[in-house]
Amino acid sequence: MATEVTVPVLGESISEATIGEWLKKPGEAVKADEPIVSLETDKVAIEVPSPVAGVMGEQIAKPGDTVNVGALIALIETGGAAAAPAAAPAAKAEAAATVPAQSAPVAAPAPAAPAPVASGDQVMTLSPSVRRLVLEYGLDPSSIKGSGRDGRLTKEDVLAAAKNQPAAAPAPAALPTTEDSVPSAERKEERVRMTRLRQTIAKRLKEAQDTAAILTTFNDVDMTEVMAARAKYKDLFEKKHGVRLGFMGFFVKAAVMALKDIPSVNASIEGDEIIYRDYADISVAVSAPNGLVVPVIRDAQKLSVAGIEKTIGDFGKRAKDGTLKMEEMKGGTFTISNGGVFGSLMSTPIINPPQSAVLGLHRIDERPVVRDGQIVIRPMMYLALSYDHRLIDGREAVTFLVALKNAIEDPTRLLIDL
């Protein structure tokens, strides 16, 4: 008996997915609720579990196929028929292996006929080996007397003629070559179909460039005070809250305060109207195996630094496991992308439509700065705010970054909402 495996409900407004890869081969045993196939949607990759225990049967959909919700994609064999899928391929292979032995012997290919070579008004027939020597030594075959049957040239005739010919004029010097100008014989190319997630990322980023008037403004921030606070309290923080104290908690909290002061950065354009919000749903870019995903911290204005860190930590873990839900990546009013974890010094992040701004964080470098007339070394980070200039003026963008900078350089502001 076979049990059908269908595409599960993927979330609101998601009607189709792409087969990523089959995690089980036909004939392999599967357990109930064991993942058997990964599906890629516009937002995330998910794994579909087996509804029953049995043996992997026919896989109706292939990797790369687009399938609708509810579509039949595979069969799980249970009971006595479980061994059938494994036996069938083996029987086919055995039958295929016996066919050549029963068929008539295949005749050996005939040796290649000697290649004709034109020389003046005559056409001479040369064997492949003789032809190769003639071309190698640059000889005129009509000027060589053949000693073979019917006056044909032999290898010995060509070698003797080459030995007796006068020394050729030196060839012009070849242009110098380098390893870069001569393609290597080991160069390879691989053509891989874009995943559905990567296609969606590409489409949305290009859409942002085509529709929004994107501009980026920069500032830098002294991380001394935040780093000192983190070093002082990180052990107590982790002991009490069960999560590490990172920098994102400070930046999300500072961004929420700045968004309250500059509401246009948290707004969006819809048609000929501007939508302003009294809440902040912060999208946080998180690295996943198939690319960046952007889950949303809902009502970040209500969360403490500890609450923010717990939420981000949970997102990061589930992004790696592929268990983020669709609804967790929808919406969002403002995005923070931390390229610094990968070593980025500076970037111009692209807006995540329909949002109007995105904040880019970067790596922390010790740099010389002037404080009270003295040159000192400080841990500095570049901040980048890309924004839709149709909605946000340059003055507002700069004011937002300055407010964020002030809160990070003096974390006490985060406590007294200043």
Q: Which of 241, 314, 365, 389 is catalytic?
A: 389
What's the rounded Cα separation, in Å, for the pair 70 and 176? Answer: 64
Spatial CA neighbour of 351 closest among 228, 213, 148, 197? 213
What's the rounded Cα separation, in Å, for the pair 155 and 127? Answer: 9
Q: Is 241 annotated as catalytic?
A: no
**Contact, 250 vs 411, CB < 8 A?**
yes
Tokens for 203, please give them.
Answer: 């489409």
Beta-strand ranges (E) seen in 156-299 are 214-222, 268-270, 273-275, 282-284, 286-288, 291-293, 296-297
Which residue has 């060839």 as its token pair? Answer: 171
Q: Which of 33, 235, 261, 393 is catalytic?
A: 393
- What Å distances lie between residue 130 and 17, 112, 150, 163, 414, CA to CA? 61, 13, 15, 15, 88
Tokens for 136, please give them.
Answer: 């190698």
Helix (H, G, I), strand (E, B), or coil: what is residue 66? strand
**Contact, 254 vs 407, CB < 8 A?**
yes
What are the catalytic residues?
389, 393
